[in-house]
Chains A and B, each alone.
Chain A
């Protein structure tokens, strides 16, 4: 492989864009196909499929074998609220190869001492979310329980392509949230994107158990296509 080609592939990853490295396994010939270029490639359909599943593999065309190295951007979990559950969630998420970012405007909570291993932004969600960019490889989790902080984050998430939105709170809390967001112009279909009460129903009690249920729900959403019951 040419070093320049590998550098291009790595650059796509840094920019959080999907890309496929195509290798003709007989000749060793290689090319990089960026997400935006897939349609114009001779292997267009195969590349589309490989990106949909996020899976590397061999494909055949006109008797030639090509290996597709599929590179998807790392999955990111943006957590609103530097709270107890987030403290339990951050190290677990790392174990799952999820990139966590914590956002909380309350500077007493949003400290590096409470979150030694992940970026903590002591900012309002609506100010910082457009900056970090919420894309379709991002999950947004609202945990502050405070509409003043959670609602702006949920609005930004609903306007984005993010693959998962979750919000902490009881059904009652969520009903009131739905009323507020409906008042802000979101439709019923929009609001069904919010997982609330957040997390898989595993009867979680402690912050760590709630973190497990949230992460399990994120993984379940991410791997929807593979689920037997889906």
Chain B
């Protein structure tokens, strides 16, 4: 068993970055995720593993430092909260276009604009439908506990390098600020420059005599080649959809109704499910772990088992609910419930929404 600690979600993510053998973190502070860079600065990872931690002059600088380091085959990450993540979108699009691996975290706060520093899940569209320009996708992992804030850093780097894709860890102010018990995984050694050069034939590690030039770019002025590149990206995304869907079903076996939620909303909804079960309502929880890829097939299977209604619970005006609708294809009623703008819904409110919007009709 690994080391047990009581940590904030943000601290667990930072500690996991060091332990995952990351080479660098570039970031810029913003509430509610500033503990990430605070923890890293205090921990002095350069002394522990040689990992570089740098506060950039802006979020835009930070993401472009990530772009450069990723191009050199390094394990690199950044983190921010909603307004800061918006600033990073150009860089993310370039990283996706250049097929580079990186991990970044968004500890979401209420928007739009500067919004509020309180928790929100209103960045779902930005996270899963683009965010930056162009036909790209990124893997989106949604931790619902401090443990997952740690575990998903390691998983994120594995997926990022396997598919050469940006991986987003999408949490919110609840998961970032709360403390829970976390079992830390053992230190993974950083790769040496030689190991990077050998392992990643695409990385720009310095041209040796007699070897081909490696070019990191998202630009090709030949549209035929660019279409080919886009087709290649789409094939990759299809493979990811086929192989990397992750979710958790709680009390769904006999469920007549299902609540779909992710992150902190999933935790709150789980309590609502417990309360509903005590009242004899047969309801289950479909917790999304990957938001892209989205578990559409698994939802269709539940439809076939006769689910009568779906309630999408998210701290937004209704974003994920669109993917639930597309997935269940009209097999049953789908409704949305969520507070937003920094207000966190309570288990009681979720239960009331289930009774009024789904069961009551």
Do A and B pair up? The answer is: no
